[in-house]
Structure 1
Amino acid sequence: MTATPSTGSGAPGATTADAVPNSSGPNSAGDASIGELIGRVSEQTSRLLRDELRLAQAELTAKGKRAGIGAGLFGGAGVFAFYGLGALVAAAILGLAHPVAAWLAALIVAGALFVVAGIAALIGKKEVQQATPPMPTEAIAGLKRDVDTLKPGANR
């Protein structure tokens, strides 16, 4: 077998033959006892879980930063939309002030705004009632099913 230069091992002059683990050494899988193999599996599993958790934490941190920036931008957009709505309300009052008295125009626009607010409140109340209780009932039911499945001799 000819050894070809390796590009990723980090050791100067290392070859691919050097990078391949020696399967005839004293720590090879063929010479290891069952206990040693189980120990290796346990160590590698815990290392894998720790690495996965670190990856998940890094991913959630990045997503959290993006979500925070997005929420801030939404908040800013809401402020500008609020001022725009105020300008539209003023324009509606001024537009109605020509055919009717100014006080009556303001009263008509205020009444229309209260009707819209009442409808939005009723719809919001309905949505909140559908969201309660604030427990993840579907997830809890799924976990209970999983536990029942894993219990030996569980009645189904």
Structure 2
Amino acid sequence: MRFENKRANQTVLSRHRLPLPYRVGLAVLWLLPPALLLLALAGAGGFPPSRFDLRLALLFGLMTVPALYIWREGVDVLPGGIIARVFWPRYLPYDLLDTWYFDGRADRRVLTIWSQSGAKTLECRAGHLTNLSMLLAALKANVRYRHRPA
């Protein structure tokens, strides 16, 4: 089964990403070196096709991958589950999730979700997600809360 087929008929209720200033800053950080290199090449007598090399295009393509990843990383809440976009996008239906716990201590502030097999399905810091209260409300309504994991 493919990722898209599992959620094709569900609308996204809320999106939770890295706050916008940090997302923009990190994406620009990854896209700035190729842009500066192109500007330097263009400023050094133009950019004739003879200077364009496939290896250069590959380098530019590789530099855009982390920027795209940072831009898309996060959690989407759907009526039937969540989509965790951490490493690889994964659709996690609520009936496959067992428990969740939010450690609200000032030095931690970590959200952890476990699957029915007991494995950690998702673990992320509260500061990395916007509108955390909406995500916690969706989890509270659909998944059992775990008090203080062992």
TM category (shorter chain) comes to under 0.3
By relative contact order (CA 8 Å, sep 6+), the higher-ranking structure is 2
Would you tell me which structure has more helix in proportion to its own residues? 1
* Greater gyration radius: 1
Give TM-score scaled by structure 1 length: 0.22
TM-score, length of structure 2 as denominator length: 0.22
Give 1 or 2: higher strand fraction.
2
